[in-house]
């Protein structure tokens, strides 16, 4: 650095507290609107990309937003469940391919997504290690889920109980990790994918236990009445599905009544999509068909309205801060009058004096812009994902 | 060399008028200007340096008529040809001593801050006994050391004219003597004209000529 710029730099170094305060104030003023804009844009972009890629969702007639958030982003809030019969209904319509989703349980903080292998094709997910789930009790982990749970192929994960104190509730199921997905930079990275039947087993809708026909289980049998066998509580129930006990797993009740969070309906073409939507428009219809793109647009329109109010408030603060900074700079100029007179007397050019005085503003502005830029990049890099996780967590 | 002829100067605000019919300081001549406070001695130096220009008359310094130059050219002229020493040193507190000495090179593009200039700054500091203070800030120096640093700043660009406005006013007897010795020494060594405004009559013996300012503006004559 040469000439008056060097002098300006020395001046700022000599007044570190004042410089740091000015830089921080202006950086915040610059960062807040830009950072907020980038943050909202980034989060909106991520949310919309997922929504755009999901044509239709069939779910219980309740909040469409909850249905979308839960089915697309595996939000922790659990919407009202629909039934397997709705999947059959979509399939029978021959207008769309149905993909089941049952998102209710967690492995620690990672959502367990009960679905079929069609989901992997639909989302374009690629198995990076191992293989997809094939039978009951197998799990396929998203890249981030595997990293956070610190497990890989060959390890096991255990579903978390919904309530520690609910003795009659859902019991943990130990699942074998058979594969890990390549990162897809979306909510799928955080999920533990299992066959939808495995999710029903976690829900207690299906189970496996000791074969009561075998001699070692006779002590537990209380009564035999034709095909019906009554046993006491000593019958061993399995909390892990293995090759040895998989045949003992079965479901009670009507298959059509088994629960689902939603059914992703992938219409064969645009017309089929419109026709399918038409079939769910009756007010007496117990289920709804949601278009995630529209639902998310509505949500983001609300966010945009709030953002504009926040930006207006930030603008007012920015004006006040910049006015204060201008006052500080002008006071600084006044304090430096004697210095300017000295420089003039020893032959400083007008340009040099101007650059020297302006350099205080220039350096502060450059540093503030740098700090604001770094913060904005950090927001873009880290905060968008964190905010999305926080909003949907 | 300084030559003033039929000079009339008054500040815009009015209230003060300086008239000098004739004043000449020869090349390499060392002149002291004495007179009461507020009589216009500092203004005389400012005229000689081209900091202000007269409303009437001529000011010629180092064969350049300053009153004919615009402000920018006069600034360039000062940077290259005039070394100015202030009573209150006027060192910049945020620069170290070396950067203070090199200040003229940093604030006027007609001077080139090269290795030779740096070497001269260090050499001057060594000669006046503050070489070990170069990395320090002015606030860490004694008053005598600060004035010596200010003298180095005035001399670093090898000016043909050294103007000093009561350079010993804030110094004790020992430092007074030392600073004046340095000014005389450097003026002699560089062949520069030296004009010193002072109230201190003890310092006059080393000058070749003493100008009584009152007589200068009153009788329009310089006195020896």
How many angstroms separate the CA atoms of A329 and A18, rounded? 10
Predicted confidence band at B221 (pLDDT cuts at 50, 70, 90)?
Answer: very low
Residue written as tokens 């008239």?
B19
Residue A352's alpha-carbon distances to A42, A64, A220, A343, B14, in angstroms, are 44, 65, 99, 9, 30
Q: How far is A16 from chain B (nearest CA, A)?
A: 11
How many angstroms separate the CA atoms of A256 and A7, rounded? 81
Q: How many domains does chain A have?
A: 2
| CB-closest option in A7, A350, A351 to B106 | A7
Has residue A289 got a pLDDT over 70? yes
User: Does A331 lie in the same domain as A265?
Assistant: no
Q: How far is B96 from chain A (nearest CA, A)?
A: 9
User: Does A263 lie in the same domain as A388?
Assistant: no
Closest CA relative to residue A192, chosen from A146, A126, A258: A146
Closest CA relative to residue A346, chosen from B2, B157, B122: B157
Tokens (6 digits) for A210: 């000791």
Which of A290, A307, A341 is the last residue before a domain boundary? A290
Render A279-348 in DSSP notation, one character per residue. Answer: TT-STT-SEEEE-HHHHHHHHHHHHHHHHHHHHHHHHHHHHHHHHHHHHHHHHHHHHTHHHHHHHHHTT-
Residue A99 lies in a domain: yes
CB of A354 within 8 Å of any CB in chain B?
A: no
Has residue B196 got a pLDDT over 60? yes
User: Does A27 lie in the same domain as A150?
Assistant: no
Q: pLDDT: is A334 or B16 the higher one? A: A334
Q: What is the pLDDT of residues B103-158, one digit of tens each?
A: 999 998 899 999 999 999 999 999 888 999 999 999 999 998 999 999 999 999 99
CB of A343 within 8 Å of any CB in chain B?
A: yes
Structural domain containing residue A81: 56-208+249-290
- Predicted confidence at residue A166, as pLDDT, reads 59
Has residue B223 got a pLDDT over 60? no
Which of the residue ranges A20-34, A246-260, B51-65, B158-172 would you say has the lowest mean pLDDT?
A246-260
User: Does A99 lie in the same domain as A13?
Assistant: no
| CB-closest option in B51, B109, B153 to A349 | B109
Residue A139 lies in a domain: yes
How many angstroms separate the CA atoms of A253 and A328, rounded? 77
Tokens (6 digits) for A63: 């909040």
- Predicted confidence at residue B218, as pLDDT, reads 65
Of all residues in chain B, the one with the smallest CA distance to A341 is B90
Which of the residue ranges A131-140, A228-237, B172-181, B193-202 would you say has the lowest mean pLDDT?
A228-237
User: Does A42 lie in the same domain as A172?
Assistant: no
Residues comprising chain A, all counted: 393
Contacting residues of A for B161, CB less than 8 Å apart: none
Return the number of other C-beta atoms located less than 10 Å from residue A335's C-beta.
Answer: 9
Residue A137 lies in a domain: yes
- Predicted confidence at residue A152, as pLDDT, reads 93
Contacting residues of A for B94, CB less than 8 Å apart: 10-11, 13-15
Closest CA relative to residue B101, chosen from B70, B135, B76: B135
Residue A26 lies in a domain: yes
* Beta-sheet pairing, A192-195 with A110-115: parallel
Q: What is the pLDDT of residues A232-270, one digit of tens each?
A: 777 767 777 887 778 778 887 788 899 999 999 999 999
CB of A337 within 8 Å of any CB in chain B?
A: no
Which of the residue ranges A36-45, A223-232, A259-268, B21-30 would you say has the lowest mean pLDDT?
A223-232
How many angstroms separate the CA atoms of B80 and B74, rounded? 10
- Predicted confidence at residue A41, as pLDDT, reads 87
Residue A351 lies in a domain: yes
- Residue A8, SS3 per DSSP: helix
Q: What is the pLDDT of residues A135-157, one digit of tens each?
A: 888 999 999 999 999 999 999 99
User: Does A349 lie in the same domain as A269?
Assistant: no
User: Does A39 lie in the same domain as A64?
Assistant: no
User: Does A76 lie in the same domain as A12?
Assistant: no
Share of chain A above pLDDT 90, in %: 56
- Give me the mean pLDDT over the A67-83 stretch: 87
Tokens (6 digits) for B150: 């200010």
Q: In chain A, where do the E strands start and end?
A: 56-60, 82-83, 96-107, 110-115, 127-130, 138-141, 156-158, 174-181, 192-195, 206-207, 221-225, 228-231, 250-251, 259-260, 262-267, 287-290
**Whether the Cβ atoms of residue A133 and residue A193 lie closer than 8 Å to each other:** yes
User: Does A310 lie in the same domain as A380?
Assistant: yes
How many angstroms separate the CA atoms of A33 and A310, rounded? 9
Interface of B with A (CB under 8 A): 46, 49, 51, 71-72, 75-80, 82, 84, 86, 90, 92-95, 99, 103-104, 106-109, 113, 153-154
User: Does A168 lie in the same domain as A129?
Assistant: yes
**Whether the Cβ atoms of residue A140 and residue A196 lie closer than 8 Å to each other:** no
The radius of gyration of chain B from alpha carbons, rounded to an integer in Å, stands at 17
All structural domains of chain B, each given as residue ranges with its CATH number in brackets, are: 2-90+155-218 (3.40.50.300)
Q: A48-83 burial by CB neighbour count: b if 16+ within 10 A, else e?
A: bebbeebbbbbbbbebbbbbbbbbbbbbeeebebbb
- Predicted confidence at residue A164, as pLDDT, reads 60
- Give me the mean pLDDT over the B182-203 stretch: 91
User: A95 Cβ partners below 8 Å, 6+ apart?
Assistant: A265, A267, A268, A272, A273, A275, A276
Render B169-186 in DSSP notation, one character per residue. Answer: TTS-HHHHHHHHHHHHHH
Q: What is the pLDDT of residues A297-328, one digit of tens each?
A: 999 898 889 888 999 998 999 899 899 989 98
Predicted confidence band at A337 (pLDDT cuts at 50, 70, 90)?
Answer: very high
Burial (CB count <10 Å: 0-12, 13-18, 19+), residue A37: middle
Residue A242 lies in a domain: no
- Predicted confidence at residue A307, as pLDDT, reads 87
Tokens (6 digits) for B86: 């202030």
Of all residues in chain A, the one with the smallest CA distance to B107 is A348
Mean pLDDT of chain B: 90
CB of A250 within 8 Å of any CB in chain B?
A: no
The phi and psi torsions of A181 (rounded to 5 degrees) equal -80, 155
Taking an 8 Å cut-off on Cβ atoms, the answer to whether A4 and B108 are in contact is no
User: Does A383 lie in the same domain as A279?
Assistant: no
Closest CA relative to residue A189, chosen from A294, A293, A50: A50
Residue A232 lies in a domain: no
Residue A244 lies in a domain: no
- Predicted confidence at residue B222, as pLDDT, reads 37
CB of A347 within 8 Å of any CB in chain B?
A: yes
Closest CA relative to residue A286, chosen from A101, A51, A30, A62: A62
Render chain B in DSSP notation, one character per residue. Answer: -EEEEEEEEE-TT-S-EEEEEEEEE-TT-EEEEE--TTSSHHHHHHHHHTSS--SEEEEEETTEEGGGS-HHHHHHHHHHHEEEE-TT----TTS-HHHHHTHHHHH-TTS---HHHHHHHHHHHHHHT-GGGTTS-GGGS-HHHHHHHHHHHHHTT--SEEEEESTTTTS-HHHHHHHHHHHHHHHHHHT-EEEEE-S-GGGGGGSSEEEEHHHHHHTS----
Taking an 8 Å cut-off on Cβ atoms, the answer to whether B92 and A345 are in contact is no
- Give me the mean pLDDT over the A84-93 stretch: 94
User: Does A104 lie in the same domain as A199?
Assistant: yes
């Amino acid at each position: 650095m040469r000439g008056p710029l060097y002098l300006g730099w020395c001046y700022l170094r000599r007044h570190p507290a004042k410089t740091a305060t000015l830089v921080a104030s202006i950086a915040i003023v610059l960062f807040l609107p830009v950072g907020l804009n980038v943050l909202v844009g980034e989060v909106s972009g991520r949310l919309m990309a997922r929504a755009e890629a999901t044509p239709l969702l069939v779910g219980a007639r309740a909040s469409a937003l909850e249905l979308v958030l839960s089915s697309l982003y595996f939000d922790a809030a659990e919407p009202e469940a629909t039934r397997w019969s709705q999947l059959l209904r979509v399939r029978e319509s021959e207008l769309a391919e149905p993909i089941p989703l049952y998102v209710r349980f967690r492995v620690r903080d990672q959502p367990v997504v009960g679905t079929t292998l069609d989901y992997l094709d639909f989302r374009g997910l690629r198995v990076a290690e191992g293989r997809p789930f094939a039978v009951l009790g197998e799990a396929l982990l998203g890249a981030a889920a595997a990293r956070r749970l610190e497990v890989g192929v060959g390890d096991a994960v255990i579903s978390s109980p919904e309530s520690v104190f609910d003795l009659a509730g859902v019991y943990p199921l130990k699942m074998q990790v058979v594969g890990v997905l390549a990162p897809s930079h979306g909510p799928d990275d955080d999920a533990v994918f299992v066959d939808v039947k495995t999710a029903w087993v976690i829900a207690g809708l299906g189970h496996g236990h000791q074969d009561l026909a075998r001699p070692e289980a006779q002590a537990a049998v209380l009564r035999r009445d034709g095909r019906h066998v009554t046993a006491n509580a000593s019958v061993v129930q399995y909390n892990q599905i293995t090759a040895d006990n998989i045949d003992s797993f079965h479901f009670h009740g009507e298959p059509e009544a088994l629960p689902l969070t939603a059914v992703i309906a992938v219409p064969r073409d645009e017309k089929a999509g419109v026709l399918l939507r038409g079939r769910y428009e009756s007010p007496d219809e117990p289920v709804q068909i949601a278009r995630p793109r529209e639902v998310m647009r509505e949500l983001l329109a609300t966010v945009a309205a709030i953002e504009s109010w926040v930006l207006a408030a930030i603008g007012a603060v920015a004006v006040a801060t910049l006015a204060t900074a201008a006052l500080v700079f002008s006071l600084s100029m006044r304090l430096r009058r004697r210095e300017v007179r000295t420089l003039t007397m020893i032959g400083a050019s007008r340009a040099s004096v101007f650059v020297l005085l302006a350099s205080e503003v220039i350096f502060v502005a450059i540093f503030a812009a740098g700090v604001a830029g770094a913060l904005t990049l950090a927001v873009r890099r880290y905060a968008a994902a964190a905010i999305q996780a926080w909003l949907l967590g | 060399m300084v030559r003033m002829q039929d000079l009339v100067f008054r500040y815009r605000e009015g209230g003060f008028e300086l008239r000098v019919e004739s004043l000449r300081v020869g090349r390499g001549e060392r002149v002291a200007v004495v007179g009461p406070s507020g009589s216009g001695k500092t203004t005389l130096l400012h005229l000689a340096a081209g900091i202000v220009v007269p409303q009437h008359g001529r000011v010629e310094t180092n064969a350049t008529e300053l009153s004919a130059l615009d402000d920018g050219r006069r600034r360039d002229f000062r940077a290259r040809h005039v070394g100015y020493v202030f009573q209150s040193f006027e060192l910049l507190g945020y620069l170290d001593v070396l950067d203070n000495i090199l200040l003229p090179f940093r604030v006027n593009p007609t001077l080139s801050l090269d290795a030779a200039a740096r070497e001269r700054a260090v050499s001057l500091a060594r000669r006046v006994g503050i070489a070990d203070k170069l990395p320090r800030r002015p606030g860490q120096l004694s008053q005598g050391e600060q004035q010596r640093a200010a003298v180095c700043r005035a001399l670093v660009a090898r000016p043909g004219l050294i103007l000093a406005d009561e350079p010993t006013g804030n110094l004790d007897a020992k430092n007074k003597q030392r600073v004046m010795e340095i000014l005389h020494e450097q003026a002699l060594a560089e062949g520069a004209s030296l004009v010193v405004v002072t109230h201190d009559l003890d310092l006059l013996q080393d000058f070749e000529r003493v100008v009584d300012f009152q007589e200068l503006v009153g009788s329009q004559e310089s006195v020896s």
